[in-house]
Amino acid sequence: MAVMEKLKMFVVQEPVVAASCLIAGFGILKSPNLNSPPFANNFMSETPLVATKQPPQPALSDVVAGMSGKK
């Protein structure tokens, strides 16, 4: 059976799924420069949204003491 025949049968049997796949495909292929919301531009860029500087890690003994309730 040809691919187009299978695709036609899928669209007839599952119209909602086919429409959502079509919408998602357009969304993925759309350029971020074409009137995208700001979060989409940030998502597609290589720069992270959050600061890369991490706070210092607490000592393991302090973590264990906090979990067990001992000082």
- For residue 13, the model assigns a pLDDT of 92
- For residue 64, the model assigns a pLDDT of 87
Instruction: Name the 3-class secondary structure at 24.
Output: helix
- For residue 37, the model assigns a pLDDT of 56
- For residue 48, the model assigns a pLDDT of 55
Residue-level pLDDT, tens digit, the chain, 71 residues: 688 898 889 889 999 998 998 888 777 766 555 555 555 555 555 555 555 677 888 899 888 888 888 76
- For residue 16, the model assigns a pLDDT of 92
Amino acid at 14: E
Cα 32 to Cα 13, 23, 26, distances in angstroms: 33, 16, 12
How many angstroms separate the CA atoms of 32 and 68, rounded? 49
